Amino acid sequence: MNYLYFLYIEFLTKHHIPKLFGDITFYFIPFCIIAAALIIAVLVLVLAERKLLGFFTQRKGPNRVGVWGVLQTVADAFKLLCKENITPTHADRFLFNLAPIILFIPVMTVLGIIPYSSEFTFVNTSTNVILYLILAAFPVLSIFLAGWASNNKYSLLGAMRSISQVLSYELPIAFVILSVAVLSSSLNLTGITLAQFSKWGLAGWFIFPCILGFIIMFICILAELNRCPFDLPEAESELICGYNTEYSGMRFALFYLGEYAMMFANSMFMAILFLGGYLSPFGKYLFNSSFLIYFEQAFWLFLKAGFIIFIMIWIRATLPRLAAFDLLKFSWSVLLPLSIVNLFVAVILKMGGIV
């Protein structure tokens, strides 16, 4: 980031703009980039999901708007923008409007703390893993507000389910992250990435000592994202649309956007923790120029995240939904003990000097 800051200031001084202006505006640039990148990423992600679901169920998926249906999600987003925002009569207007906005804050921030390449982290604190842990659980507040403020029984039930779900799936995630932190002796995402570097490429990745942790984390992230088979809070066949039943137009679009952006952020996070983040799987980079390497690093990160997203979509196409009771039982009686076992394994490996 210092490198980018340096470039930016140099650019400004060349055009005789005071350094103070650069100091202030520099911190707005990441937000603009994130906002733009986020919308594009979500549009691509939704299209990819619909296409893949189509292929899984032997359909073509969207194929009318644009070549191969590529503009379908753009058209959908445009349609949502044009729609009327309806507020139910007896809803709590203030909280009802606040909920989608609250969802969006952690989503934007999470994307800011991820190291896309060795020089490209917008907010690089020494403990940004902890920051991630807090921000990833944040959307549940918005879901709760939405469910509560809508004055709809289905929304309320959806919010209720969502809270119990996130509460019980946060704990295993914390233990898994702890084991990764032990292995890498770092709470910084860049530090964790660099700890996975080895001459033989993917041999250094933490997925190998922590395969159990990887699986636990994957399951928990599915639950946190309310994705199939843990999509109880928005179970269509039971609760119609769950917490966002009453939302329409732009507000619904924000929920949708937040959900998919969170999916993107979480899978990148998993890629960083277990799949070596932006490191190349071959041990050395394909490009030699330092500038192109940044893009190559980002490419590897997106590829790994894309792989995780693909598995998520695959699971969605295959599995039925769990029952609410089984879901809680599964977390407390299976995932939590296993994640503690995983932590012990990580500690033993670290003390033995194997990793």
Partner 1 sequence: MTITKLKLNLGPQHPSTHGVLRLILELDGEKILSCEPDVGYLHRGMEKMAEQMTYIQYLPTVDRIDYLAGCFYSELLCRIVEQALEVELSDKVRVIRVMLLELNRIASHLLWTGSFLMDLGATSPFFYTFREREMILRYFEKLTGQRMMYNYFVFGGVRKDIDCLDDVQEIIDILPEKIDDYEKIITDNPIFLKRTEGKGILDKETALNYAITGVNLRASGVDLDFRNIDYLYKGFDFRTIVLEEKDSWARYKARIMEMRESCNIIHQALEYLKMTPALEQRLINPLNLKLPAGDYFAQIEAPRGLAGCFVCSDGSDKPYRLKWRTGSYYSVNLLRKLLVGEYLNDAIAIAGSLDFILPEVDK
Binding residues (CB under 8 A) for partner 1: these are 53, 56-59, 153, 157, 160-161, 228-229, 231-232, 235-238, 240, 316-326
Name the minimum Å distance from CB 103 to partner 1: 23
Smallest gap from residue 131 Cβ to partner 1 (A): 33
Tell the smallest beta-carbon distance from residue 315 to partner 1 (Å).
11
Task: CB nearer to partner 1: give 114 or 160.
Answer: 160
Of the two residues 134 and 323, which places its CB atom closer to partner 1 in the complex?
323
Report the 10 Å Cβ neighbour count for 19: 10
Cα–Cα distance measured from residue 308 to residue 32, given in angstroms and rounded to the nearest whole number? 26
Between residues 220 and 346, which has the closer beta carbon with respect to partner 1? 220
| Nearer to partner 1 among residue 62 and residue 106 (C-beta) | 62
Residue with tokens 């003390």: 351
Name the minimum Å distance from CB 342 to partner 1. Answer: 22
Helix (H, G, I), strand (E, B) or coil at 230: coil
For 114, residues 6+ apart whose C-beta sits below 8 A from its C-beta are 121, 189, 265, 268, 269, 272
Give least dist CB 238 to partner 1, A. 5
Rounded to the nearest angstrom, the gap between the alpha carbon of residue 105 and the centroid of all alpha carbons in its chain is 13
Q: What is the smallest separation between the CB atom of 63 and partner 1, expressed in angstroms?
A: 16
Residues 6+ away with beta carbon under 8 Å from 117: 278, 293, 294, 295, 297, 298, 301
31 or 56, CB closer to partner 1? Answer: 56
Name which of 72 and 226 has its Cβ closer to partner 1: 226
CB count in 10 Å sphere of residue 214:
22
Q: Which of 15, 37, 39, 12 is nearest to 25 (CA)?
A: 12
- CA end-to-end distance (rounded Å), the chain: 29
What the block records as the tokens of 264 is 């993107």
Q: Which residue has the tokens 């103070």?
A: 20
